[in-house]
């Protein structure tokens, strides 16, 4: 039955009498189908992907069904909207202790797939290795979210220093000035990042849950991991409701990151599992409340501190902390696979005694992950409840 190739969400949209005449879709083909032989009925514009052997296009409901009848087509998904996961923190995760061993993320290539990065910010001087605009707006970060996220990963400032201050940064602009974009744009950013041979990708963005990991973006994220790239994804800000983790946080192979405060209390907004197919998510918690980081020029995201820095909260800010820790581990242990990196961070986390579908394996700890031994609450160097060691930027601004 051809309708079995069409996702349930897309079928519902096609049946809606108020739906627009054209639908934004992503078509996945069978393996080894060349671009020249991909069916594109009635579509004048299409974006092709190799990561998934897929194409994104706009077409009518009738043409969707025509596509579904083609034997080379496997799945047709809706091209859904995603947005920033906005809603302060870092020595709390012991990144500075890892620096003392000589690991600062030096030259580890990290991609920020977001609203872009402000290359004029002094905290990134000489370390932006590549920039790509997939939105058509131009590469300028005219929202501020991507610059803030990049500062948490690898800002090299003084007071608001990033987790991996010597990492190499790549910026894929996939979200527009209003902080939103389509899955197809994000997939294009993922594909570009993989082609740049980055080692880790940060996705501080997502859609509304629940989801089961079979949507187009989650599938693309898993494909990137299978290609050898670590992918860190925000759980989303739709907590504390159960099953509120949205795509691509529900992907199977990624590291899905929830947010806590500096006293190891889970943030109320941090999305909870389980996924729609019953899996535990998020995988881990990292501080993501009231984080100070880089501010893009001419933007006002979050609560500005001065011309160069702003504060924000959200799983968007928690995720780049995890990405920065992965960059430290990759400098120290360059042969670790994405699965090994994920397991190492999860198995050495501080157990906060939370339901796994709220707090995952616990709160990430950089020093314990580096040493390969489980962290313990209250161990030497851990801030007391309510305390904060301010050496790594942390940012998540809530945006509903």
Least confident of 126-135, 153-162, 220-229, 343-352: 153-162
Read off the tokens for 222. 């898993």
Least confident of 98-112, 228-242, 370-384: 370-384
Q: Are 317 and 149 in contact (CB under 8 A)?
A: yes
Q: Is the pLDDT of residue 389 over 90?
A: no
Least confident of 6-15, 159-168, 272-281: 6-15
Q: Is 90 exposed, middle or buried (0-12, 13-18, 19+ CB in 10 A)?
A: buried
Please state, in angstroms and rounded to a whole number, the distance separating the CA atoms of residues 121 and 367: 29
Q: Is the model more confident about 309 or about 82?
A: 309
Please state, in angstroms and rounded to a whole number, the distance separating the CA atoms of residues 75 and 5: 5
Q: Is the pLDDT of residue 149 over 80?
A: yes
Q: Which helix (H) or strand (E) holds 291?
A: strand 291-294
> Which residues lie across from 109 on neighbouring strands?
168
| Angle between helices 338-347 and 315-332 in degrees, nearest 10 | 110
Q: 54-59 and 46-49: which strand pairing? A: antiparallel
DSSP 161: B
Q: Is the pLDDT of residue 59 over 60?
A: yes
pLDDT at residue number 275: 97
| Angle between helices 61-68 and 8-15 in degrees, nearest 10 | 140
Work out the angle at residue 150's Cα, subtended by the Cα atoms of residues 154 and 183, and round it to the nearest 5 degrees.
140
Which domains, and CATH codes, for the chain?
2-79 (3.30.70), 83-371 (3.40.50.200)
Q: Is the pLDDT of residue 383 over 90?
A: no
pLDDT at residue number 36: 67
pLDDT at residue number 15: 86
Q: Is the pLDDT of residue 343 over 50?
A: yes
The side-by-side arrangement of strands in the sheet containing 81-84 is 180-182, 81-84, 205-206
**Which residue is listed with tokens 């504060």?**
311
Q: Find how far residue 370's CA is from the centre of its chain.
A: 22
Output Rg (C-alpha) for the chain, integer angstroms: 20
Mean pLDDT score of the chain, rounded to an integer? 88
**Which residue is listed with tokens 């780049």?**
320
Read off the tokens for 13. 């949209």
pLDDT at residue number 42: 62
What residues are labeled active site?
114, 145, 316
Please state, in angstroms and rounded to a whole number, the distance separating the CA atoms of residues 250 and 242: 13
Confidence band (pLDDT; 50, 70, 90) for 94?
Answer: confident
Reported pTM: 0.87
Confidence band (pLDDT; 50, 70, 90) for 397?
Answer: very low
User: What number is the average pLDDT over the span 275-300?
Assistant: 95
User: What number is the average pLDDT over the span 306-313?
Assistant: 94
Confidence band (pLDDT; 50, 70, 90) for 25?
Answer: confident
Least confident of 2-16, 214-228, 242-256: 2-16
pLDDT at residue number 51: 87
Alpha-helical regions (H) of 234-349: 315-332, 338-347
Count of alpha carbons within 13 Å of 178, Cβ hemisphere only?
A: 6
User: What number is the average pLDDT over the span 20-38?
Assistant: 82
């Amino acid at each position: 039955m051809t309708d079995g190739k069409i996702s349930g969400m897309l079928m519902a949209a096609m049946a809606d009498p108020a739906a627009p005449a054209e639908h934004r879709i992503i078509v996945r083909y069978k393996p080894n189908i060349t671009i020249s032989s991909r069916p594109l009925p009635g579509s004048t514009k299409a974006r092709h992907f190799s990561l998934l052997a897929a194409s994104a296009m706009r077409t009518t409901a009738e043409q969707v069904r025509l596509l579904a009848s083609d034997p080379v087509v496997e799945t047709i998904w809706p091209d859904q909207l995603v947005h920033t996961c906005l809603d302060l923190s870092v020595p709390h995760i012991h990144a500075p202790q890892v620096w003392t061993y000589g690991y600062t993320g030096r030259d580890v290539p990290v991609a920020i797939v977001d609203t872009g990065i402000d290359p004029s910010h002094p905290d990134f001087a000489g370390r932006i290795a590549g920039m790509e605009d997939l939105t058509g707006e131009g590469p300028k970060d005219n929202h501020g979210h991507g610059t803030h996220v990049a500062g948490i990963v690898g800002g090299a400032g003084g007071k608001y220093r990033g987790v991996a201050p010597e990492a190499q940064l790549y910026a894929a602009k996939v979200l527009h000035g209003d902080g939103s974009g389509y899955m197809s744009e994000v997939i294009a950013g993922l594909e570009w990042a993989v082609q740049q041979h980055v080692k880790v990708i940060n996705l501080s963005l997502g859609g509304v849950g629940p989801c089961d990991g079979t949507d187009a973006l989650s599938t693309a994220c898993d494909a990137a991991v299978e290609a050898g790239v670590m992918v860190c994804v925000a759980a989303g800000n739709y907590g504390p409701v159960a099953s509120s983790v949205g795509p691509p946080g529900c992907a199977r192979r990624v590291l899905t990151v929830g947010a806590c405060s500096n006293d190891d209390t889970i943030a109320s907004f941090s999305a909870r599992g389980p996924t729609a197919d019953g899996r535990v998510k998020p995988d881990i918690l990292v501080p993501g409340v009231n984080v100070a980081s880089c501010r893009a020029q001419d933007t006002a995201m979050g609560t500005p501190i001065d011309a160069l820095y702003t504060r924000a909260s959200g799983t968007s800010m928690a995720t780049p902390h995890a990405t920065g820790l992965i960059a430290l581990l990759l400098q120290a242990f360059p042969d670790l696979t994405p699965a090994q990196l994920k397991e190492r961070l999860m198995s050495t986390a501080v157990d906060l005694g939370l339901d796994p579908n709220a707090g995952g394996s616990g709160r990430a700890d950089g020093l314990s992950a580096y040493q390969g031994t489980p962290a313990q609450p209250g161990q030497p160097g851990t801030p007391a409840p309510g305390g904060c060691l301010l050496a790594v930027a942390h940012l998540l601004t809530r945006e509903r």
